[in-house]
Structure 1
Amino acid sequence: MYSQRDVSSCNTYNYGDALYWDTRYIQEGGSFDWYQRYSSLRPFVRHCFPLSSTLLMVGCGNAVMSEDMVRDGYEDIVNIDISSVAIDMMRRKYEYIPQLKYMQMDVRDMSYFPDESFDGVIDKGTLDSLMCGTDAPISASQMLAEVCRLLKPGGSYMLITYGDPTVRMPHLSKPVYNWKITLYNIPRPGFQKPETSTSARKSYLEPIPLTEKGSLPTDWVMEDPDSHFIYVCRKIIDTEIDNVPSYKLTTDVALNHW
């Protein structure tokens, strides 16, 4: 399933192809963070992942988010990307930071890693890229199956995406994953709420109460049409399903040093 934003963002490029990304990184160089910087995502990351977590950053590209996370106290982040150009670049850049590891790898086949290798997986735009590639539904299923396999029980997959629940929940809510999904929405960087808006300002740390069918409530208003959704998919075991507590995400909790 695709959203209009999937289609409009894909243009004519195959974002699931290594050659496209190799060429782009050679041409651009430097650093670039898709969608959001760590400063905006920090409350959500700190709430979901203790500093001692073993984390996997999929589709890391040339982003500085992992570096920012290490500065914030995270101790073990493995970064993978399909582009060998990006990985070589980042290895050289961060060879002096032992907390960061970089490996060339396709998210659709991460068999290098054994089952239950990570406490958390972070995805900032990688699933979105696959949705722009050939055989998008198959690629998405392959990736998510691998993510689920690599997560330890109790671990979480954090997806930052422009895909709303109508196009992302069918992929994420498959029973085989056993994920308890919590959804948030944050505006794009620099977004200013229109002064003419009469709606009460919502806290972005408040989860969106999805309907039983996994869709947005009919009265929910997206203040920024170009905002990003954050899906936190927690891997649970069968005996937990009826007893998982729901925690309110607050600034105090988010900034707690665990």
Structure 2
Amino acid sequence: MNLLPKSTADFGSTEYWNSFFRKRGKQAFEWYGEYPELCTQLHQYIKPKDEILVVGCGNSKLSMDLYDVGFKKITNIDISPVVIKQMQEANRLNRPEMTWNQMDATAMTFPNETFSVVLDKGTLDALFTDESTSVVTMVRNYFAEIGRVLRPAGRYVCISLLQEHILREVVSHFPAAHFMLRIVRCPEAGKGRGTEDAPNADGSSLLVFAIVATKLKNMPLRVLEVGLAGSHIERVQRPEEIIAAVAATQKAAMVCNGLARGSIAGMAEVSLDLFSPTDKERPRYTIHVLDQAPKRGNGKYAAFIVPQGRETEWLFATPAGRRKLQESAKFDRLAIVTLHRGHVYTDLEAVKAELAESVKSLAPTTSVAGRIDTVPLDRCGSRPPGNDPHPAAANCP
């Protein structure tokens, strides 16, 4: 079923969305995740007492799910009269307090300061299709309307993929308009959405973010915050720091998606540095990912954690040594993890727990889901004799 636009310009077309929702019927179209995947971020920034405006609601179940868990003051708008009629009919009996209006989010008819939250899931991305003058003007009108209908201390909560041109406009507009700006990652959203319900038909996961812009009456200093690693929120001084942090996270996700989709057997290993949220200057771990041609009897995927103090040995410190290690470990894919000096590591179990999500994100799609094996030391090999001034030190016990 071809439901996605043939060109990005179609995203802004009322005719496209009317046709889209007629084809889709009653089946919900959940871009970037559903309520269970977004609820952590939504409940942090939206409260049941809020007056909520959902812009570009489509036929998403998000506002219905919010209503069902106690968020009763919800108004939904969409440019498509077709979907508004569908949603009115679907919710008239079970959700009588929720309202649905056909309206253009770039020219709303609500009075000033009507809402305490404006919730946007994918609408900004659908509007901001390119950087043409007409599109940028439309997006700026949209942002101005958000600022107009929000009360002081109200929040614009936007779920977005944050393409670079979108992020640049966000970090330019909202601080200048006296909004406190925070960008956080939604780690559960977008996973495994390579289906008809997502723009990425290659099977990769989407990297999803939440823009949280809080309207303030007077803000003498800009407040810029970013949270891309768990619950840690970092305050930064310049918009460029947010752009760089998001770009680094997106590039890492591209690597993980590439590794999930295919093998790099016969190619150079892929190396990634992992940093602690509180120390971005010194990597805490380095992971080298190696693939080899599948062999009968090999496991699919495992991780090997280099013992502290041995990271400079040939077997662990060189590409040839790591290839030897993989062959000895007998796994089609091996993630070799090096611990860096200058950090504190409690014990091996704590290291495994800290690495679990990162190691899992590097797994091929052919591996069995769940716990990732950790290769014990007695399965690793040794450096060819005669090439090490201390050959005994290179042998694994």
Q: TM-score range by the shorter chain?
A: 0.7 to 0.9
| 1:154 equivalenced with 2:153 (yes/no) | yes
Which residue is 1:25 aligned to?
21
The one-letter code matched in structure 2 to 1:213 is P
Task: Point out the more displaced range, 9-18 or 20-29.
Answer: 9-18
Q: Distance in 2 between matches of 1:100 and 1:151?
A: 19
1:225 counterpart = 2:241: no
**Shift in Å, 1:11:** 2.7
TM-score computed with the length of structure 1 as normaliser:
0.73
RMSD over aligned Cα atoms: 3.0
Is 1:116–1:151's contact at 8 Å kept on the other side of the alignment? Answer: yes
Cα deviations across residues 84-127 of structure 1 (Å, max 9, x unaligned)? 000000000001212311000001100x2111000100111111
**Cα displacement string for residues 154-190 of structure 1 (whole angstroms, at most 9, x for unaligned residues):** 0100111112455323245325521111111234223
Query: Distance between the aligned counterparts of 1:57 and 1:226, measured in 2?
Result: 34
Matched residue SS, 2:117: strand
Contact 2:79 2:103 in 1 (8 A): yes
Q: Which has the higher contact order (CA 8 A, sep 6+)?
A: 1
Paired residues, number = 212
Unmatched segments (≥5 aa) in structure 2 = 194-202, 205-227, 257-397
Instruction: Report the counterpart of residue 181 of structure 1 in structure 2.
Output: 181
1:122 and 2:129 aligned: no
Q: 1-side partners of 2:100 and 2:255: how far apart? A: 31
Per the alignment, in what secondary structure is the counterpart of residue 183 of structure 1?
strand
Counting only pairs closer than 5 Å after superposition, residues 68-217 of structure 1 correspond to structure 2 as: 68-96=65-93, 97-110=95-108, 112-132=109-129, 135-164=134-163, 167-174=166-173, 175-187=175-187, 188-190=190-192, 203-207=229-233, 210=236, 212-214=238-240, 215-217=243-245
Which stretches of structure 1, 4 residues or more, deviate above 6 A after TM superposition? Answer: none
Deviations 1:104-155 (A, max 9, x none): 0001100x21110001001111111111277210110010100011111001
CA distance in 2, matches of 1:113, 1:127: 19
Percentage identity across paired residues of the two chains: 27
Cα gap change, 1:113/1:204 in structure 2, threshold over 3 Å: closer, same or farther? same
Question: Which letter maps to 2:249?
Answer: V
SS at match of 2:49: coil
